[in-house]
Structure 1
Amino acid sequence: MENIENMLKERKKTLDKVEVPEELGERLSRALNGKRVLKRRNNSWRIKAAAVCLAVLLAGYNFNTLAFYGKKLLGYDQVMNGTLKQLNELGKGQLIGKSHTFQNGVSVTLDGIMLDESQLLAFYTVHDPRGQVDSVNLQPIMQLNGLFGSYMAEGGQGEINEENTEIKWLMGFEPPFFLERTLHFKFGLIDDNTLEEGAISFKLDRTKAMGRTLKKTIDQTFELEQTKIKFESILASPTRTVIYGSIQNILEVARDQLRGERLRMNHLTVSLIANNNEVISQQGGGMSTDMRGITFEQSFDALPEDLQSLHIKLESMSVDRDVNEKVNLNKVETKREIEILGQEIEIDRVYESNDSTFVTITSDESTVLTRVYLMIDGNEVELQNTVTENLDKLPDGRIRHTRTLHFPGKGDNLALHIERITFTELYNITFEVPVN
């Protein structure tokens, strides 16, 4: 976390002052979280999911066309989890086998799909006969268009072959409206600074779709310190399990905005436990702000067939809050403790060196002053950098982080002006979801 306050200030200060229309922000966020990145993998299968590229030798097969053996899709084992592999073995899914070729010879083939109540999974191949498929610049925003709306990509993962001619992709999309019959898989290729668009149209075979295994209203609300979190419902399908919830409704969002106490949720840690001891692997999660307020979803693997009990464990939540706190500083004081939104922050030392003022503070490791200034004789001075000094583990397991804030300039009257703070709230609450 070295230099984290300064890094966040430099990278985010300007963007945080830009007000993006909420509906646009939500859709772009969900689309860009599905961005396909070949050389790194994000932890999300989400709204914020991403892509991994694994170089493997696919000897003995030709993947230019879709290969089925007894309705089983071949060539996608490396991008399927265990659940999808089992569904594939059972021949679940719909064959598409349609392609679009761009002017530079690069082609996109929609091999097949899997559809259930929680998502539509698209299996597609990107082929570059030049052997430069890792350099193909497909647009990060992909979508399915239908008669009743557009369905954005939520995230996925892919595999590149050793010859660097093909990538096998598995991409998740929002489930289409139940009356949709024809969908248009839309994408774009940027080549030589020119955008060329492509589309593959196909008819949905609803007889190949899978339903749901569990759908329950949860309606559980928990409150700790400054934040309230509500678990609203859970939807389990053959391909995944999704928990839906909210942090604030639209009126609460507006209230905090007017008060200058805007809340942003950074990360939510939730576990899903089946049959008392079987932890269901997490696939990702996402958050959005729209006319409903601040909402979230957490995605997990499919539930076991022999489901007897189901529990959700709320572990922690990291939030970012606007504040407006001014703390007067004294260069002769040695140590003082302040509290902001329940977070204890120790001011250890204030000193001057080389025409700069330094403020040493100690807080929990997760507590960060993400926007902080120093008032020097009435003038607001930006943070120049932050230096980590110590990380001390307490007997209760908490880690206290000592760091020094560096502000250019010196003066007689000093005050720390804190406008935004990030911290983690620990819940560790477990509750049961009825399965009958």
Structure 2
Amino acid sequence: MQTIEEKLLEHKQSLNVVQAPAELESRLRNALEHVPAKKKNMSRPMTWIASSAAALLLIIGTYQYPAFAYYGSKLLNTTDLYSLSFSEVADQGYGQTVNKSKTLDDGTVITIDGVIADENALLMYYTVGRHAGSVYNDHGSYRYGVDGLHGFMTNSDWKEGGGNPSEDETQFEGVYKFEPVSPFARTLTVTFYEWLDNGERASYPISFDFEANKAMKSMIKEDISKSVPVDEGTVHYDSITASPTSTIVKGHYDMDEKGYPRFMGNTKLYVNGTEMKPRRMQSSDDSKKDILGFELEFDVLPTDKIKTIELVLEDFPGYQKVEEPISLASPSDQSIKIGDEKVWIRSVTKTDAGYDIVIARKQFTFLETDNLSVQAGDIVVPVSSISSSRPWDLKNGNILWEQTYSFNITEKPERLLLDGFDYIKTYDKTISIPVGQ
């Protein structure tokens, strides 16, 4: 049977890339500090306790994916991963060096320099070195690309990518971001492609060993399970996962009218009081569970010393019911306030068919038109046609949108009858996310 010391020696290389999270270290230290003082001849049991703690770290570090990496990370405190070359990342002790290349028929060399993986994504750093006598920009930025990344239980599409040519334009250094890969994959294959001069496309798969113990564990992974009621339903925030590649908030909608809202609204993320830069938002429905999901991605957290995390639903589609008729007696460019929103009755004009009314509103304000009508005395006439939207430039940096509403009525209309309108409503609702200690 192997002793603990033998196991530690056997797994020394794995432990070299594993760092214990700060909170685990403090808990162990606190536990040891509360052990009653012993006589000097009790040093052997204390050595056993220390060895057991090391063995615990060994087991966790070896078998939990991804490993305890980057807690207290210098990298996350100072630099966005996307702005670094892989050599700069590797110099700080992060990521897995790959250094696998494929040489094309014309002498161009495509190299996978290294990868960084976590529960949110996999970042692949690569280099395209053009053959002698040729520069990268000879054939434009789209000559080379990537189809996807494959492996055991892994079929990941790329989500975004970018990079820059070198100063002499003989090579290109870039990074692709893929969907997360399976922690059980041992070999990954990335398929590059090239658009040839004859218009055909050639594919170049490059396979490399994937070392999961060099990937990075999420800094924060919390269930939120909180919601914000809105005018026509509820916005649920389900979870947050923060990692060295990104911060992702997942949630779902429960709307009165089945289906996605017209707009996703704006959710802001604050960490220690600082707003995180948003990267993207997208829907992520689960047809099997009939869930209308969404996913919000933010920038990498700037620090590992997280004290507070807050989500703020800044705005979201709202509905304003119009209780009273709107007077058409004095059309002008002055606004009419209804609830928290405004509309403008710009003109009421006689036409051969009846009357045209020009109504202006903000870009994302939409009048409910099912029962839109005008009234003259006891006569009520519904709208007959509505023009396309057109901009109304206020010449002060603001642009509104106006439409012409036509009514087949002989008498001049006195009132506009409107049930309500959809608009972007300010909510400013804050959700505090508990941070694990």
Give the TM-score normalised by the residue count of structure 2.
Answer: 0.61
Question: Which position in structure 1 is the counterpart of 2:294?
Answer: 295
Report how far residue 424 of structure 1 moved: 4.6
* Cα pair distance change 1:119/1:168, threshold 3 Å: same
CA distance in 2 between partners of 1:226 and 1:339 (Å): 18
Report how far residue 178 of structure 1 moved: 1.6
CA distance in 1 between partners of 2:297 and 2:390 (Å): 34
Question: Which position in structure 1 is the counterpart of 2:110?
Answer: 108
Question: Which position in structure 1 is the counterpart of 2:270?
Answer: 272
Q: Is the 8 A contact 1:240 1:302 kept in 2?
A: yes
RMSD value, Cα: 4.7
Question: Which position in structure 2 is the counterpart of 1:156?
Answer: 161
* Cα pair distance change 1:109/1:353, threshold 3 Å: farther
Q: Is the 8 A contact 2:354 2:409 kept in 1?
A: no
CA distance in 1 between partners of 2:353 and 2:135 (Å): 57
- Equivalences, count: 336
Question: Which position in structure 1 is the counterpart of 2:279?
Answer: 284
* Cα pair distance change 1:316/1:280, threshold 3 Å: closer
Q: Is the 8 A contact 1:131 1:165 kept in 2?
A: yes
- Which residue of 113, 122, 128 maps to 2:130? 128
> What code does the residue aligned with 1:242 have?
I
CA distance in 1 between partners of 2:350 and 2:161 (Å): 51
Question: Which position in structure 1 is the counterpart of 2:252?
Answer: 246
Q: Is the 8 A contact 1:79 1:159 kept in 2?
A: no
* Cα pair distance change 1:110/1:263, threshold 3 Å: same
> What code does the residue aligned with 2:99 have?
G
Q: Is the 8 A contact 1:390 1:403 kept in 2?
A: no
CA distance in 2 between partners of 1:205 and 1:108 (Å): 21
Report how far residue 406 of structure 1 moved: 5.6
CA distance in 2 between partners of 1:247 and 1:429 (Å): 17
CA distance in 1 between partners of 2:181 and 2:354 (Å): 58
Classify the secondary structure of the residue corresponding to 1:272: strand
1:183 aligns with 2:188: yes
Superposed CA deviations along residues 175-234 of structure 1, whole A, max 9, x for unmatched, are 211211111112333334322222211110122122222221111101122242111112
Question: Which position in structure 2 is the counterpart of 1:73?
Answer: none
1:215 aligns with 2:221: yes
CA distance in 2 between partners of 1:140 and 1:420 (Å): 46
* Cα pair distance change 1:329/1:294, threshold 3 Å: same
1:367 aligns with 2:373: no
> What code does the residue aligned with 1:131 have?
V
CA distance in 1 between partners of 2:150 and 2:354 (Å): 57
> What code does the residue aligned with 2:207 have?
S
- Which residue of 81, 90, 96 maps to 1:94? 96
Classify the secondary structure of the residue corresponding to 2:94: coil
Q: Is the 8 A contact 1:83 1:302 kept in 2?
A: no
* Cα pair distance change 1:330/1:411, threshold 3 Å: farther
1 or 2, which has the higher strand percentage? 1
* Structure 2 residues without counterparts, runs of 5 or longer: 1-78, 374-380
Question: Which position in structure 2 is the counterpart of 1:18?
Answer: none
* Cα pair distance change 1:164/1:434, threshold 3 Å: same
CA distance in 1 between partners of 2:223 and 2:275 (Å): 19
Q: Is the 8 A contact 1:245 1:295 kept in 2?
A: yes
* Cα pair distance change 1:214/1:329, threshold 3 Å: closer
CA distance in 2 between partners of 1:83 and 1:126 (Å): 13
> What code does the residue aligned with 1:429 have?
T
Report how far residue 239 of structure 1 moved: 3.8
Question: Which position in structure 1 is the counterpart of 2:203?
Answer: 197
Superposed CA deviations along residues 280-300 of structure 1, whole A, max 9, x for unmatched, are 532513212422323222323
> What code does the residue aligned with 1:314 have?
V
Report how far residue 103 of structure 1 moved: 5.2
CA distance in 2 between partners of 1:420 and 1:179 (Å): 52
CA distance in 2 between partners of 1:182 and 1:239 (Å): 21
CA distance in 2 between partners of 1:226 and 1:81 (Å): 41
Classify the secondary structure of the residue corresponding to 1:244: strand
Superposed CA deviations along residues 340-380 of structure 1, whole A, max 9, x for unmatched, are 9x8553434233799999754344x45344999999x9997
> What code does the residue aligned with 2:364 have?
T
Higher relative contact order (CA 8 A, sep 6+): 1
* Cα pair distance change 1:417/1:173, threshold 3 Å: farther
Report how far residue 386 of structure 1 moved: 0.8
> What code does the residue aligned with 1:172 have?
K
CA distance in 2 between partners of 1:117 and 1:84 (Å): 20
* Cα pair distance change 1:186/1:268, threshold 3 Å: farther
* Cα pair distance change 1:239/1:84, threshold 3 Å: farther
> What code does the residue aligned with 1:190 have?
W
* Cα pair distance change 1:386/1:366, threshold 3 Å: closer
Q: Is the 8 A contact 1:224 1:427 kept in 2?
A: no
Superposed CA deviations along residues 369-423 of structure 1, whole A, max 9, x for unmatched, are 4999999x99975745513243789xxxxx8x6443368x996589999999663
CA distance in 1 between partners of 2:122 and 2:347 (Å): 56
Q: Is the 8 A contact 2:191 2:203 kept in 1?
A: yes
> What code does the residue aligned with 2:135 have?
G
Give the TM-score normalised by the residue count of structure 1.
Answer: 0.61
Larger Rg: 2
Map of 1:19-418 to 2, 5 A cutoff?
80-81=82-83, 88-102=90-104, 106-129=108-131, 130-133=134-137, 135-138=140-143, 142-191=147-196, 192-248=198-254, 256-257=258-259, 263-274=261-272, 277=273, 279=274, 281-282=276-277, 284-291=279-286, 292-302=291-301, 304-307=303-306, 309-319=307-317, 334=331, 344-351=342-349, 359-363=357-361, 365=362, 367-369=364-366, 383-384=387-388, 386-390=390-394, 402-405=400-403, 412=409
* Structure 1 residues without counterparts, runs of 5 or longer: 1-76, 394-398
> What code does the residue aligned with 1:116 have?
D
CA distance in 1 between partners of 2:422 and 2:119 (Å): 39
Superposed CA deviations along residues 258-304 of structure 1, whole A, max 9, x for unmatched, are xxxx5243442312222xx3x15325132124223232223231352
* Cα pair distance change 1:165/1:412, threshold 3 Å: farther
